[in-house]
């Protein structure tokens, strides 16, 4: 059960990283569009999209940090448990 949960958590981290890349590319594209348009309405739409992208990027970063921290805590606790409960055979 724990291994399955940790596997899912690691997969979530991987997918969050990939999604972060998608958001960064989207942000770059909207910035590019803003730089090259001569129409105020298009700039306004791009700004709105960038605001949403930045908000989602913050949420993704928070989730990534949370999951990463939980996995690190688990690894530390597991190491400590194994060290404290090591079976010594003479």
**27-76 pLDDT, tens digit each:** 999 999 999 999 999 999 999 999 999 999 999 999 999 999 999 999 88
User: What's the domain range around 36?
Assistant: 27-81
- Evaluate whether residue 45 is within a structural domain: yes
Q: Write the DSSP string, 24-83.
A: HHHHHHHHHHHHH---HHHHHHHHHHHHHHHHHHHHHHHHHHHHHHHHHHHHHHHHHHHH
- The predicted pLDDT at position 3 comes to 66
- Evaluate whether residue 8 is within a structural domain: no
Q: Give Cα 17 to chain centroid, integer Å.
A: 5
What is the tally of structural domains in the chain?
A: 1
- Evaluate whether residue 16 is within a structural domain: no
Yes or no: say if 33 and 70 are a contact pair by the CB < 8 Å rule: no
- Evaluate whether residue 61 is within a structural domain: yes
Yes or no: say if 24 and 71 are a contact pair by the CB < 8 Å rule: no
- Evaluate whether residue 88 is within a structural domain: no
- Evaluate whether residue 75 is within a structural domain: yes
Give ∠ CA 69-28-9 in degrees, rounded to 5: 20
């Amino acid at each position: 059960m724990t291994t399955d949960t940790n596997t899912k958590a690691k997969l979530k981290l991987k997918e969050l990283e990939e999604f972060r890349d998608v958001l960064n590319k989207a942000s770059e594209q909207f910035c590019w569009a803003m730089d090259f348009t001569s129409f105020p309405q298009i700039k306004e739409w791009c700004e709105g999209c960038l605001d949403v992208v930045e908000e989602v990027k913050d949420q993704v970063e928070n989730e990534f940090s949370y999951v990463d921290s939980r996995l690190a805590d688990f690894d530390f606790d597991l190491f400590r448990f194994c060290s404290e409960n090591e079976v010594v055979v003479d």
